[in-house]
Chain A
Amino acid sequence: KNQVEQSPQSLIILEGKNCTLQCNYTVSPFSNLRWYKQDTGRGPVSLTIMTFSENTKSNGRYTATLDADTKQSSLHITASQLSDSASYICVVRSREIKAAGNKLTFGGGTRVLVKP
């Protein structure tokens, strides 16, 4: 069964500090992995997308890594800002042609709170 597990469920960090979020998946065959940021009451916004051959991708202060061998990804937030307070969702897409649904498996998200 395809699954995406994120950790931690939540974390609190001080403004200006760095943090790393984890995403472990069992989705196979793998197509791509996305990290989304979701502000409270809003829709998710894509931060990065990574395919099998990509190890690292950055978007401003956000850097995502992917280890396709261990099926792990991380999202690193550098020099956190108050506006980084949000939920971060890891979404993995399957290449399975006959997969049910739209081939996306969602993680439960990590809720980040940045305090001044």
Chain B
Amino acid sequence: KAGVTQTPRYLIKTRGQQVTLSCSPISGHRSVSWYQQTPGQGLQFLFEYFSETQRNKGNFPGRFSGRQFSNSRSEMNVSTLELGDSALYLCASSPKTGPYGYTFGSGTRLTVV
């Protein structure tokens, strides 16, 4: 059974650009959540999707957005990149929302220069 797949693994962008990250959840998992991880702030919740609907949102500016497709795959977009957006972006999937187990992907390492 394939795990959570995130693409690309590494990305380098310049300030002001935008970026789209992709996440394919475990087959059958309908909930996808996104997290930003930095050395200074640790893991921070971005948003969670279930059945193509955003269910929860963390405290990030509107430059961070996401969506989920009918096949449960999800994308995350960051517009007008800032140096501080450099981080490891993690996606996690679970069968449904609620107190269920989350399986994380290996992440996308974004570097903004």
Q: Nearest Cβ distance between residue B102 and chain A, in whole angstroms?
A: 7
Contact check, B109 vs A107: say whether CB atoms are below 8 A apart: no
Count of interface residues, chain B, beta-carbon cutoff 8 Å: 25
CA distance A36 to B107 in the complex (A): 15
Q: Nearest Cβ distance between residue A88 and chain B, in whole angstroms?
A: 12
Chain A residues within an 8 Å CB radius of B42: 89, 106-109
Known contacts A100-B56, A101-B57, A102-B33: A43-B45 contact under CB 8 Å? no
Chain A residues within an 8 Å CB radius of B109: 41
Q: Mark B27-59, 1 if CB is under 8 A from A, else 0.
A: 000000100000000111100100000011111
- Closest residue of A by beta carbon distance from B90: A43
CA distance A101 to B58 in the complex (A): 5
Q: Which of A31, A43, A93, A102 contacts B106 (CB 8 A)?
A: A43
Interface residues of A toward B: which range? 20 to 34
B contact patch SS: strand
- Closest residue of A by beta carbon distance from B55: A102
B105 CB-CB contact with A under 8 Å? yes
Chain A residues within an 8 Å CB radius of B48: 102
B61 CB-CB contact with A under 8 Å? no
Q: Nearest Cβ distance between residue B95 and chain A, in whole angstroms?
A: 14
CA distance A95 to B99 in the complex (A): 8
- Closest residue of B by beta carbon distance from A106: B43
Interface residues, chain B, with chain A CB atoms under 8 Å away? 4, 6, 33, 42-45, 48, 55-59, 88, 90, 92, 99, 101-107, 109
